[in-house]
């Protein structure tokens, strides 16, 4: 599973702009794309998208996606404490 930067920010308890600012400060993003795509490929990836615009023709865009393993890695890189996972109490009877 991979998440957008907005979904990742919500998971980490941040806003998207705050997450992007922190990632840029730590040299993890250049613009809104991974600064080191080969080094961080286990955690971050670039998603390529295309769409057709009536006026300008075929358009291209790129965005950053955070891999599942990237959530904890990103929290470590940014010194963020992840919320703890609540204990499963269904077997307590």
Q: Is residue 35 part of a domain?
A: yes
In a domain, 71, yes or no: yes
d(CA 7, CA 37): 20
What predicted TM-score, i.e. pTM, was given to this entire model?
0.81
Whether 85 maps to a domain, the answer reads no
Candidates 7, 33, 1, 6; CA nearest to 17 is: 6
Question: How many structural domains are present in the chain?
Answer: 1
- pLDDT at position 85, please? 59
Q: What pLDDT shows up at residue 57?
A: 97
Which residues constitute the domain of residue 16? 2-77
Among 42, 35, 62, residue whose Cα is nearest residue 50: 62
Query: pLDDT at position 1, please?
Result: 86
- Could you list the pLDDT tens digit for every one of the 93 residues in the chain? 899 999 999 999 999 999 999 999 999 999 999 999 999 999 999 999 999 999 999 999 999 999 999 999 999 999 988 766 566 666 655
């Amino acid at each position: 599973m991979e998440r957008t930067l907005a979904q990742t920010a919500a998971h980490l308890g941040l806003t998207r702009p705050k997450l992007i600012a922190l990632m840029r400060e730590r040299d993890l993003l250049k613009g809104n794309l991974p600064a080191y795509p080969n080094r961080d490929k286990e955690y971050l990836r670039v998603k390529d998208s295309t769409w057709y615009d009536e006026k300008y023709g075929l358009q291209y865009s790129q965005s950053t996606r955070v891999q599942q393993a990237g959530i904890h890695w990103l929290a470590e890189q940014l010194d963020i404490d992840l919320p703890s996972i609540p204990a499963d109490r269904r077997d307590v009877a």
